[in-house]
Amino acid sequence: MTAPLHPDTVAVHSGRSDLADLGVHALPIDLSTTNPLPDVERGGDSYEAMATGGRPPADGSLVYARLWNPTVARFEEALAEMEHAEASVAFGSGMAAMTAVILAHTNAVGKRHVVAVRPLYGGTDHLLGSGLLGAEVTYCHPHEVAGSIRPDTGLVVLETPANPTLDIADIAEVVRLAGEVPVVVDNTFATPILQNPIDLGAAMSLHSATKYLGGHGDVIAGVVACGEETAEALRRVRAVTGGLLHPLGAYLLHRGLATLPVRMQRQQENARRIVSWLLDRPEIAEVFYPGLDGDPHGILDRQMRGTGAMIAMRMQGGYAAASAVASGTTLFTHAVSLGGVDSLIQHPAALTHRPVPAEARPAADVLRLSIGLEDADDLIADLATAFAGLAPAAQSLGRMTVPVESRSVGIRSRL
């Protein structure tokens, strides 16, 4: 038996097995919006197969790009291989992917209830709570999943590490508590390099591919790795709602997978350096980063192969200090999103989590850092400069408020 390939090798070669037969080395891009039909009958059969979530027949046609695109399909194959899944389905954004997951497991199967484990990305939390998709939601903590399940529960939504405070949940335990209800894990922060939720029993591993998978801040996308039966349900939703990823975006994502392991390694090394520095800073009340408590329950050791490159920190000076630091960096771009080659800083409560109810919103003194590929010493110096200007800025902003008061959980310790 051939030994399984290392994930670094899979990242480079996945989804490329047919390139030699095509006589090319670089990934091809198919921009066709419509495709010739061999005849009326086979064209119609092809349309029906793909519009209902299936794959294109071997003797048929791809018909129309809303139903199928070869460049997108090649990226999906690559991501599925990296996530140890039978298939994956790509969408025009991470929120489009989550929307399809919810629809496919609620309305489409006669269910109406979703269990959502907080904390979650603000967009996901807001989508569920808005009622826009017709689903009812029960929010809970990981240990409360079993007690939150109802006969009409169609889905459990989990994010780990969670946005923005890097909370870690035991995926296998949540799957056990969910019983027969499928669990979707938002794996955006960890990526397939550090975590494979399907190996731990999850039905789906979802990514905002905009982030680490693309890695360069130039493509919006989402993707869900899953079993083939689930993929058919998701492709059906995608075909009806028009959520297909553009082929150019799929090309950029597939290209980005090849460098994902080395990017994650370097970004993680930088993050650990910065966390160690932050822990000794008097301006910092808490640092949020996986493993600062030594992993007493062994969750990290069981389900992750690293701690990632996202950091959150709670400022001693409250909202005024957080606001001043967010606007006071130079190398850290003050912007939403994450996972790119350059470092970003943002205030979750005022931005990505602004629509979240106050009881679940991050505290007003919390900032989130996405660590890039810059030199770690340069990034530390940039933060130090922002901290140095904190006192006068905090005094001038001291009376400013935003409606973001909430809990703050974290551990302030040494790596």
The dihedral built from the CA positions of residue 108, 112, 113 and 118, taken in this order, carries a sign that is: positive
Distance of CA 314 to the CA centre of its chain: 23
Residue of 186, 236, 361, 382 marked catalytic: 186
Q: Which of 218, 200, 198, 196 is nearest to 209 (CA)?
A: 218
Which residues have a Cβ under 8 Å from the Cβ of 9 and sit 6 or more positions away? none
Whether 322 contacts 171, CB under 8 Å:
no
Q: How far apart are CA 393 and CA 138, in angstroms?
A: 41
Q: In the annotation, is 111 catalytic?
A: no
Residue of 66, 112, 266, 412 marked catalytic: 66
Whether 53 contacts 234, CB under 8 Å:
yes
DSSP track, 165-217: T-----HHHHHHHHTTS-EEEE-TTTHHHH--GGGGT-SEEEE-TTTTTT-SS
Any idea of the CA torsion for 271, 277, 281, 283, to the nearest 10 degrees?
-20
Number of CB atoms found within 10 A of residue 370's CB: 25
Both tokens of 410, joined, read 């974290």
Q: How far apart are CA 168 and CA 184, in angstroms?
A: 15
Exposure letters 263-277 (e unless 16+ CB within 10 A, then b): bbebbbebbbbbbeb
Number of CB atoms found within 10 A of residue 391's CB: 12
Q: In the annotation, is 186 catalytic?
A: yes
Whether 331 contacts 345, CB under 8 Å:
no
Any idea of the CA torsion for 369, 81, 207, 345, to the nearest 10 degrees?
10
Q: How far apart are CA 80 and CA 72, in angstroms?
A: 12
Q: How far apart are CA 259 and CA 240, in angstroms?
A: 33
Residue of 47, 121, 212, 251 marked catalytic: 121
Exposure letters 142-168 (e unless 16+ CB within 10 A, then b): beebeebbeeebbbbbbbbbbbbbbbb
Residue of 211, 263, 314, 361 marked catalytic: 211
Q: How far apart are CA 249 and CA 279, in angstroms?
A: 39
Q: Which residue numbers are catalytic? A: 66, 121, 186, 211
